[in-house]
Amino acid sequence: MSYWTVAQTESQREIVADAHLQQRGFETYLPRVRTRRKQIDPLFPGYIFIHVIERWYVVNSTPGIIRVLLCCDRPAILRDEIIRELRGRQDRRGFIPLPKTVPRIGQRVRITRGTFLDHVGIYDGQSAHDRERVLLALLGRMVTVELPTSALQFP
């Protein structure tokens, strides 16, 4: 049985752990981002994804690795779709693009499609995968609605 799992790495040693795991025959995935300062960083600092085929216990003794994340004395298993989705977001250089602007809670937002088209509300944070909470003034009171990120425009 093969599966993807996650290991915690020592601080800023993700690349070292990645190299050592590959030397031991593991397929790894370390999603990276290019920051605004043109620096290359892991998307999930302190963690690396590992594809396990048979033996997982040797991961814990790999340089740069603190521990494999466990669930009931076995490695926590990630669905293959999660890794596929992350890889699908990579650009041609292998980086996962960061949003151009990160909205702030309390910032005004315009709804660009759907039932609330052209309403202006107040951004209230991210609620789930690609969904955002927006406060709208409806019928004399503030109501929270959840909308896809693609339906919002931040001035």
What residue spans define the domains of the chain?
3-88, 108-153
Contact (CB, 8 A) for 51 and 28? yes
Q: What is the pTM of this model?
A: 0.67
> Which residue, 50, 43, 45, 57, is CA-closest to 19?
50
Q: What is the mean pLDDT of the chain?
A: 90
Superfamily of domain 3-88: NusG, N-terminal domain (3.30.70.940)
123 bridge partner residues: 134
The architecture of the domain spanning 108-153 is: Roll (2.30)
Q: Residues with Cβ < 8 Å from 73, sequence gap 6 or more?
A: none
Residue 155's pLDDT is 76
Give the pLDDT mean for 34-53: 88
Residue 101's pLDDT is 65
Give the pLDDT mean for 53-62: 90
User: Distance (Å, rounded) from C-alpha 33 to C-alpha 41?
Assistant: 5
Render pLDDT for 94-135 as a digit per residue (tens, 0 to 9).
898 876 666 788 999 999 998 899 999 999 988 776 788 999
